[in-house]
Structure 1
Amino acid sequence: MRIKASESLLLVIDIQSRMLPAINQGQEVLAQAIWMVDVAQAIGIPVLATEQYPKGLGHTDSNLLSRIPEQLIMEKIHFSAVIGENLLNIPFSERRQWVIVGTEAHVCVQQTALDLLANGREVFIVDEAVGSRHPRDKALALQRLQQNGAEIVSREMVAFEWLEEANTPLFRDVLKRFIR
């Protein structure tokens, strides 16, 4: 299935200041997540974010925090953002397609994605914008998520599907600013 701009949102899971240094290639995951947020906002895609126990793990990285409205960042204590805090009751959560970036791929990303799938949502995991402390955990999480119905995608796959067509002012703007 294709990702439709009018039916999707971007979910940033737990890219937090104290956890990020422990993530394998954490700065690259952060850079890719920032790119996804910037592209989503340029196209008009809603962006939501979660923070896992911010008292212990710190808040969302400041580079992301400055891009996402505070009311669209949800604090959580469960690994899955769907359980307990119920991600499905906040603005834009009625959208059926969820594009996910964040950490850790094998914990919060995976559990949230599995619960979204169980709740009838279509889930797309942006490969280069998710991470774990250990590469094997990320690889196994992506494999398991795919086996359970999530699609593993690249950032450009998402961007071009959101755009749908060339030769529009929006396409030219996104191409110039983000796809070189």
Structure 2
Amino acid sequence: MLVVIDMQARLLPHLDGAERLTARVGTLLRAANLLEVPVVVTEQNPQGLGGTAQALLGDVRLAKVIEKDTFDATLAPAFVDALPPAPATLWVAGAEAHVCVLLTVLGLLRLGYRVEFVADAVASRHVEDRAVALERARQDGARMTTVETAIFGWLGSFTHPRFRDVLALIK
């Protein structure tokens, strides 16, 4: 399952590398859609921060959008209810790396999930905060990965019937 944290319209312009972040998360979402990887998207205080950025939604079918008021999404019962049983592997991306993403990753690890922290698909307002989040997640047991590694892992082989479609997303 792909977990996308708080990629909201009013938050994104304030993030370091927002354009790249949006592109990387968009690629993950489109690949997940093509490969039928389930997706959960969280929205922190959507009344204040707006919903998920329209550029990300497009024609992507999202399995579940969860509104939350906690920084750690695992403290929101609807989020936990949307997850597969542990110890499933969850790929996590989004914003902000050092707050909602990191705290959710730590919560997922506590619940027994295997977490793949998609390092090139997370951002914070400040570069230093992102760097600390990546290191902290790694220290606490999350595995670092990238968008392309996640996608090729989902594919498994170039013989996958959607290989060419997915390859077009990353070229």
- Relative to the length of structure 1, the TM-score reads 0.88
Partner of 2:117: 125
Conservation of the 8 A alpha-carbon contact between 1:88 and 1:94? no
Separation (CA, whole Å) in 2 of partners of 1:23 and 1:53: 17
Kept after mapping to 1: 8 A contact 2:27/2:170: no
Q: Is the 8 A contact 1:105 1:141 kept in 2?
A: yes
After superposition, the CA RMSD in angstroms is 1.5
C-alpha contact (below 8 Å) 1:24/1:135 kept by paired residues:
yes
- Pick the aligned partner of 1:167 from 159, 162, 167: 159
- Cα distance, 1:64 vs. partner? 2.0
Shift of 1:94: 2.6
1:151 aligns with 2:143: yes
- Choose the corresponding residue for 2:108, options 116, 136, 140: 116
1:48 aligned residue: 40
2 CA distance for matches of 1:24 and 1:77? 23
Q: Structure 2 length as normaliser, TM-score?
A: 0.93
For residue 82 of structure 1, report the CA deviation from its aligned partner. Answer: 0.5
For the Cα contact (< 8 Å) 1:87–1:93, is it kept in 2? Answer: no
1:22-171 equivalences in 2 (<5 Å):
22-66=14-58, 67-69=60-62, 72-90=64-82, 92-94=83-85, 96-171=88-163
Q: Between Structure 1 and Structure 2, how many residues are aligned?
A: 169
Instruction: State the shift of 1:172 in Å.
Output: 2.8
Structure 1 portions without partners, runs of 5+: 1-8
Give distance in 1, aligned partners of 2:41 and 2:67. 9
Shift of 1:68: 4.1
**Cα shift at 1:152:** 1.0
> Structure 2: which amino acid aligns with 1:13?
I
Deviation at 1:135, TM superposition (A): 0.4
CA distance in 1, matches of 2:32, 2:11: 24
Given that 1:76 and 1:85 are in contact with CA atoms closer than 8 Å, whether structure 2 keeps it comes out as no
Aligned counterparts of 1:168 and 1:49: Cα–Cα separation in 2: 26
Residue 88 of structure 1 and its aligned partner are, at CA, apart by 1.5
> Structure 2: which amino acid aligns with 1:58?
G
Instruction: Give the AA of the match of 2:142.
Output: A
- 1:86 is displaced (CA, Å) by 4.5
Match of 2:169 among 145, 158, 178: 178
SS of residue paired to 2:162? helix
SS in 2 for 1:48: strand
In structure 1, distance between residues paired with 2:76 and 2:34: 32
Aligned partners of 2:162 and 2:110: how far apart in 1?
34
- Residue 156 of structure 1: how far off its partner (Å): 0.9
Residue 3 of structure 1 corresponds to none
Match for 2:38: what amino acid? P
In structure 2, stretches of 5+ residues that fail to align are none
Q: Which residue identity does 1:114 align to in structure 2?
A: L
CA drift of 1:44 comes to 1.1
